[in-house]
Amino acid sequence: MSANHIALSVDSLSVNFRSRVFSKVKGVVHAVDQVSFDLGRGTTTAIVGETGSGKSTILKAIIGLVEASEGSITLNDVNFSQLNSRAASELRHHIQMVFQDPIGSLNPRMRISEIIAEPLVITKTGNKIDREQMAQEILSKVDLKPELLSRFPHQLSGGQRQRVAIARALIVQPEVLLLDEPLSALDVLVQAQVVRLLADIQKAGNLSYLFVTHDLALASEIADNVVVLYLGRIVEAGSVKEVFENPSHPYTQALLSAVPTADHKIESTRERVILIGDPPNPFDPPSGCSFRTRCPAAEEKCSIERPQLFDLASDHRIACHVVHQRSSS
Ligand SMILES: Nc1ncnc2c1ncn2[C@@H]1O[C@H](COP(=O)(O)OP(=O)(O)O)[C@@H](O)[C@H]1O
Ligand SMILES: [Mg+2]
């Protein structure tokens, strides 16, 4: 991707959390470990992986809710770490986030009109009348009726609340939307409506989405590119076409084989890769490849050396010793 096609670039991002007991550091979790990827302008990248793999932490580091221990984040070629805090927070207005749980992320004491207009207040945009008008306009973009503006969050359905959260994120005309499992609190029919809405909004505004989900079928439907995380590290990444048609990391293969298909013929003949055991303790991950304790293909080298990402194809990166050996012999 050439530079002006990249909206957001994440380079060697690491985030560590220290767990303390009575102010004594008990352990360190490398929640995000040397993660790099680019988000193309007007495209969607899905981040997938089990609970605790670091998906939310990546989004929080991008938006400045947690501090990166290492690495850099670049929006339109401007590196956040080279800005003072005021300039960085102004630049961050171009990035907005939609959380998983709309009821938890919307202030229950504020009316919908105030909730939607709040980012305009924060960014000191327009006067009160301008803001009300902008709130009305954005509401119609997410297919909600103007009479909802005077209501409170608990008076709305789950789908309506998530549309409000999306409207609130869109009102400052961001370039990048970070979506953290935005559909998982919604029922299936409403999910499909919100997926369509997000696609329409993306097309109309050339928006870029970073979409966290544990639902691989959804990722393959909505995303152009996918990043597969295991214990904070990228194990496989690339275009959806490459990764889903030719999944090569044993972890991705296991995740994908757990996704049911509608095709009975495929369903009855395909081999399932079952993941054995639970994910390792994040305070004490395995040496070498952190997936090796659950990996059906693990060899001796996997416990000694940490596998680095290499290019399997032009649109396909993977970190696996076994695949590396096979592809280079
Ligand atoms: N504020 C925090 N303090 C300490 N540990 C955290 C904090 N937030 C997340 N973690 C840990 O970091 C890891 C990644 O968490 P998270 O990014 O929430 O994963 P995901 O979104 O993929 O489920 C987990 O081991 C989690 O327990
Ligand atoms: Mg999460």
Check which CATH number belongs to the domain holding 29 and give it. 3.40.50.300
- Domain end position, chosen among 153, 173, 193: 173
Q: Could you read off the pLDDT of 3-62 as tens digits, one per residue?
A: 679 999 999 999 999 887 777 777 899 999 999 999 999 999 999 999 999 999 999 999
Residue 163 and residue 188 in one domain: no
With a pLDDT cut of 90, the percent of the chain lying above it is: 73
Q: Do 189 and 165 belong to one domain?
A: no
Q: Taking residues 78-100, what's their average pLDDT?
A: 92
- Closest ligand to C-alpha of residue 55 is 1
Same domain for 214 and 203: yes
Q: How far apart are CA 153 and CA 145, in angstroms?
A: 14
Alpha-carbon distance of 286 to 284, in angstroms, equals 7
Other C-beta atoms within 10 Å of 54: how many?
Answer: 26
pTM for the structure as a whole: 0.93
Q: For 200-219, what is the mean pLDDT?
A: 93
In this structure, the answer to whether residues 139 and 256 fall within a common structural domain is no
What pLDDT does residue 262 have? 59
Ligand 1 pocket: which of 16, 17, 26, 63 to mutate (most atoms <8 Å of CB)? 17
Number of independent structural domains in the chain: 2
Average pLDDT for 255-279: 70
CA–CA separation, 183 and 316 (whole Å):
27
Domain's final residue, options 173, 203, 218: 173
Instruction: Return residues with CB closer than 5 A to ligand 2 (ion).
Output: 56
Q: Could you tell me the residue range of the domain that residue 110 belongs to? A: 105-173
The pLDDT assigned to 187 comes to: 85
**Looking at the domain assignment, is residue 99 inside a domain?**
no
79 lies in some domain: yes
Q: Considering only CA atoms, which residue is closest to atom 3 of ligand 1?
A: 17
